[in-house]
Structure 1
Amino acid sequence: MKIKNFAEMAYLLGLIILALGVALMEKADLGISMVVAPAYLISLKVNFLTFGMAEYTLQAVLLIFVCLLLGQFKLSYCFSFVTAVIYGLVLDGWIWMLNDVTAATLSIRIPLYLVGMLFCAMGISLLFHTYLAPEVYELFVKEVSKKYRIDINKFKIGYDCTSCAVAVAMSYLFFNSLRGVGIGTVICALVNGLIIAQCSKFFEKHIDFSPKLPSVQKYF
């Protein structure tokens, strides 16, 4: 039996789980997710920006690029920035709560990283299945793949790999060394899209993503 009318809850859980996954990967220090790595590097470089603040600042810039690339603007795109702000606040909250967690050995760091990567994939998959505005990262993948009729999972893999390359370039530009980017970033870039696809298959089998509040859906 499927869980019914889960669209709105998918949005809330997606943000919470995604932010937790990113926080766990940051704590593991094996390489942050390639999608958020540029924002993470900016937060390391600019002292007054937290990781969460850097996230929604960078997503504001990406949102402008999305509108230019698609040649259109929708009011719902603004809600993606609202989502980015909520996500940034939740991310900073998770990082604060995990502050006292000690990850000094690989026996702790590797499980933290693996669980974090799984949570990131689960969160993104849930956000792909809700009508409520996703983060700008997911909006970019969703809207561009739709406009140009590209398989969303393949496009996600390409986007992740591009983000990884940008993060490496930024790391050397800012610090003359790799910071926040590691073997975990490369692994995540290669397999994250595949994990998201498997999560989507699982969720679609057990969850009905129709809205509980259909009157709200028309605004998105």
Structure 2
Amino acid sequence: MESWIRGAVLIALVSCGITGHNAVAQDSSTLLADVVQPDIKRRDIEEAEIDAENWEFGFYAGVLSFEDFGSNDVYGVRIAYHISEDWFAEANYGISKLQKSSSEKIAGFPPLLTDDERDLSYYNLNLGFNLLPGELFIGKWAFNSSFYFILGAGNTLFASDEYFTYNVGGGLRLFVTDWIAMHWDVRNHLMTHALFGEDKDIQNLETHLGVTLFF
């Protein structure tokens, strides 16, 4: 008889413990849900639309330091086709007006070139590689940008003759919008002429600023 009573009491205690545990667990879950309940306000986000045009066309102006003929204004146009994210092909055409040579200015020699022969123009075809695409921060504004390397060849026309010319250099392309870019370029034009009687290898440094449009 006593064994039966002890068994009944144990069963009753265990049942009460399980019921109490379930009640505590349920209360804890309800309380946790109230505390962790997120209050998120969803925002409408418009993704930036990036143009996929591969052609680039623009103008530039700067200074051409032509060996023995001083520093001269230079103006030109460029057109480029972006083959991939890294590589692009470019064609340039530029014009300038050469000053008097150093021998004419300092030694007072007779004019080496006529006025028409001082008109200079060049064209070249180049292959470019984007070295460091990224972002450039100016104040609180961030602009997409890329430094690039250029290598090419073409012809330079002056003194009533054409001279085969290599050019090498680099520049910075800064995207003002998704279809307008600003450029700063430095290039070296390497050629050979015989204006002073013997063949002479010269290097002509050029720097210019420009703007291009993608289409």
Please tell me the TM-score bracket, short chain as reference: under 0.3
TM-score (norm 2): 0.21
- TM-score normalised over the length of structure 1: 0.21
Higher relative contact order (CA 8 A, sep 6+): 1
